Chain A
Amino acid sequence: MRRFIARLLLLSFVTTLPLGVIRAQTRAENPTATLIRNATVLTITHGVLTNADVLIKNGKIAGVGKGLKPSANARVIDGTNKYVMPGIIDCHSHSMLDTINEGTLAVTSMVRTRDVINPTDVDLYRELAGGVTTLNLLHGSANPIGGLNTVVKIKYGRPADEFIFPGAMPGIKFALGENVKRSSNPNLPGVTRRYPNTRMGVEETIREAFSKARDYKKGWDEYRAAVAKGEKNLIAPRRDLQLEPLVEVLEGKRYVHAHCYIASEILMLIGIADEFGFKIKTFQHVLEGYKVAKEIAAHGAGASTFADSWAYKIEAYDAIPYNTAIMTRAGVVVSVNSDSDERARRLNIEAAKAMHWGDLTEEQALKLITINPAIQLGIQDRVGSIEVGKDADLAIWNGHPFSVYSRVDTTLIDGDIFFDRQQDLSRRADLAKERATLEQADPNKAPVQGQVPGAPRRRPRGHEDDDVWEGDRP
């Protein structure tokens, strides 16, 4: 037990210390104005500007062009030989979520990722170091209708509340296919299989849920109409937290982000949505989207996919890296996401793959991780391009972000620096010293001569929403 406490102590020191450092820097040292001077600016919506400046005031982009003048107390960043792009937006993330799947029921629209966000997840910092600034935190894919999403800016070092992206459209996770069928779950003796078990059952589950939601909405609509007419002594319908978000979907107030793989299930969900009169905002993963690209475009849905992750399971066997390009050419708004804290750190390269496989233009490929995911999350007026008036969420690279040889130098959110490579490097010696001191402290000494138990923290590679099954294993 003492050993346990000792490790706990070490853990708390190690995790809070760098945070403290960052907090001090972001709060005290961030001035209200910044000028990035003489850089190549990838505006996304207005082409590429060379030897250009970006002026930031009060967290917003105040000017883009040549020869901009900083105010007297502004911070100036030399952008010579550097590239500035909008902060990368990851439309499918599970970072900073303490738990991902409430998989005990087929419909869990009453649970919220907002309730389980952990602002100290160190992977957030690693994602900032890859130029990422905004995440769509999604529930997992254990059930046809999952929990509610949370859109955040990665304000690492700040309290959880400050992460929340104000004004982002509320969303909900749906899921189809193998994960929902629990294909990878062992069929244990004595344990009842959770419905559904087939893609037929998945359709029926969603249909039933929306039928109930439509009824529920009708009850409320009638009640409100009666109240409006001045009728007295009415009893309001019983509030249903499970159906409420689905009513919001029916009313177009909540975006559906639907995990899917194969063509038939994509068509199935389009069919239900058309029938009930709502839209799927994004198909997530959508690895066979290329087979039904015109149907996705006709429905008006977006697609959020990746170049890789083919063949890791049967429903991904027909995935091809040309998917992004084919859907884009069909008129679908496409983004490239991570679904993985690891992959999130290199979304620039994931987007560039659409130039390699499918020959998208550089501008089309850049949109996959900037303005397109912004549209998919309803935040396109705030982020996703470098335009006057937008939030100053920027990533500054030491080379073109589509080159494998490039890395991020600085990442800003709302004009504040949240990652800076030089700062990071300059802190390392101190952190190492700190760690060494802590390890020498009596309660933290290694329990066995010569060897400290390793601290393996190997996260699964990718597909995080597939891997975590919680709550229903005996």
Chain B
Amino acid sequence: MTIAANSVGATQPDGAGPILSVSNLQACFRTNHFGVHRTVRAVDGISFDVGRGEIYGLAGESSSGKTTLVRTIAAAIKPPLEVVGGTAEFSFLPGYDGLHRAPAAEVARIRWRHLSYIMQGSMNVLNPVRRLRQSFVDFARPHMAGTERKFEQAVIDHLARVNLDASVLAAYPHELSGGMRQRVTIALATICRPDFIIADEPTTALDVIVQKDVLGMIRGIQREIGSSVLFVTHDMGVHAHLTDRLGIMYAGRLIEEATTAEIFRAPLHPYTRHLIASLPRIGNDTPRKGLEGTPPNLADPPPGCRFHPRCPLAMEVCSRSVPTMIGTAPGHRVACFAVNGSEEP
């Protein structure tokens, strides 16, 4: 299916290149408590591209660095988090090597107009003491031209897309159910028709039945306005339903990337293989094994491939050198010596 080129983005440069290009991005938490220096390398040399009109999924367990990666890309960097190296360049913000290097005025212009967010806790996004109408004005009014009345009409039209009626504008956030609130935040994030949306676990706090509706809504709006989405969740079921391409993270590194269908059909990395095979399925009760061992402590990660202490295919080389991402098929990259062969670099 084809997606209409984003017609509203007048400032957007043309071209078929990726909208977000992350290259060798490194970020770490540096702490210094009572003279004890600790460096946690939460994002360690990650490279990937997100194409136009694509939903790119990031999967990984807790403390695998997915939220840190997203925070780095979105320039929500507060100490002790530090960007050590690499770039995360948006096509609508050329020349700065990433939002985190851009001046504040530029960031204010980009935010919400070109780049918006859908977060996990909708209560944290919506101001609890302001009616939702005011939240829409706070977030979106600076980016939209026209009269007050036209703006209000645009908001009401947009709310209809997420199956909410105009009456919610007069409500306070606590008066709405969790599902409705999350739909409001989706409407809020998409009203300016941004080029890029970052969604960090947006459905994790929702009930199963509501979750499917909300996912369908994100999909529908994304198709309609042609945005690209970076979708982060640990739930493989959500990825199966929503994302086009999928990157799997383990202990701060990207270890496999392919189309979502490919990841589910023919995963290559031992960790991904285990992850897919251990998903419980209704109608199938063959015994499934958990993975031995525990995720590594990122303050003191194992040398070489970080998965090797738990890996069933571990070889001698795995504990010595770090595997690089190598393409095995068009669009399928994997970082594993057992899959790619163990030629020393």
Partners in one complex: no
